[in-house]
Structure 1
Amino acid sequence: TQGGSVLFHVAIKPKLPPGVILEKISWGIESGSKHIAMLHVSPGKHVLKWVNLQDKYKKRVHMLNTTTLRIDKLTLEDSGRYWAQVSLTGGIENAQYFDLIVYEPMTSPQMLAEILSLTQDWCNVTLECHALETSGAENVSWESKGLPRELEQTGAPGPAPNPWTLALTLPLSQPSPSVTCVVSSPVDQKSATRDLGEVCGHGECSCLRGGDPQS
Structure 2
Amino acid sequence: GVEDSRNLVSLKGTQGGSVVFHVTRRPEVPPEAKLEKISWAVKNESNYIVLLHVSPGVDVPEWVNSQDKFKERLHVLNTTTLRIDKLTLEDSGWYRARCSFSPGIENAQYFHLSVYEPVSSIQMLAEILSLTQDWCNVTLECHALETSGAVNVSWESKGLPKELEQRWAPGPAPNPWTLALNLPLSQPSPSVTCVVSNLVDQKTATRDLGEVCVH
Length-normalised TM-score, structure 1: 0.85
8 A Cα contact 2:120 2:147, kept in partner: no
Distance across 2 between alignment mates of 1:154 and 1:82? 44
Distance across 2 between alignment mates of 1:157 and 1:84? 39
Distance across 1 between alignment mates of 2:32 and 2:195? 56
SS of residue paired to 1:201: coil
Q: Quote the residue 2:121 is aligned against.
A: 108
Q: Is 1:8 the equivalent of 2:7?
A: no
Count, aligned residues: 202
CA spacing shift, 1:66–1:14, aligned 2, 3 Å: farther
CA spacing shift, 1:111–1:19, aligned 2, 3 Å: closer
* Post-superposition offset of 1:83: 1.2
Q: Quote the residue 2:3 is aligned against.
A: none
Q: Quote the residue 1:30 is aligned against.
A: 43
* One-letter amino acid of the structure 2 residue matched with residue 30 of structure 1: K
The correspondence of residues 45-124 of structure 1 with structure 2, limited to 5 A, is: 45-124=58-137
Structure 1 segments unaligned to the other structure (5+ residues): 203-215
Q: Is 1:143 the equivalent of 2:156?
A: yes
Distance across 2 between alignment mates of 1:97 and 1:154? 43
8 A Cα contact 2:35 2:56, kept in partner: yes
Length-normalised TM-score, structure 2: 0.85
Distance across 2 between alignment mates of 1:153 and 1:198? 23
* Post-superposition offset of 1:90: 3.4
Distance across 2 between alignment mates of 1:68 and 1:156? 41
Relative to its length, the structure with more strand (as a share) is 2
CA spacing shift, 1:56–1:180, aligned 2, 3 Å: same
* Post-superposition offset of 1:107: 2.8
CA spacing shift, 1:172–1:156, aligned 2, 3 Å: closer
Q: Quote the residue 1:169 is aligned against.
A: 182
Give the CA RMSD over aligned residues.
Answer: 2.1
% of aligned pairs identical?
76
Q: Deviation per CA, 1:63-90: give whole Å up to 9, x if none.
A: 2211111112222222222111111223
Q: Quote the residue 1:134 is aligned against.
A: 147
Distance across 1 between alignment mates of 2:137 and 2:17? 43
Distance across 2 between alignment mates of 1:26 and 1:6? 18
Distance across 2 between alignment mates of 1:153 and 1:50? 58
Q: Deviation per CA, 1:110-149: give whole Å up to 9, x if none.
A: 1121222222211111111111223333111100011112
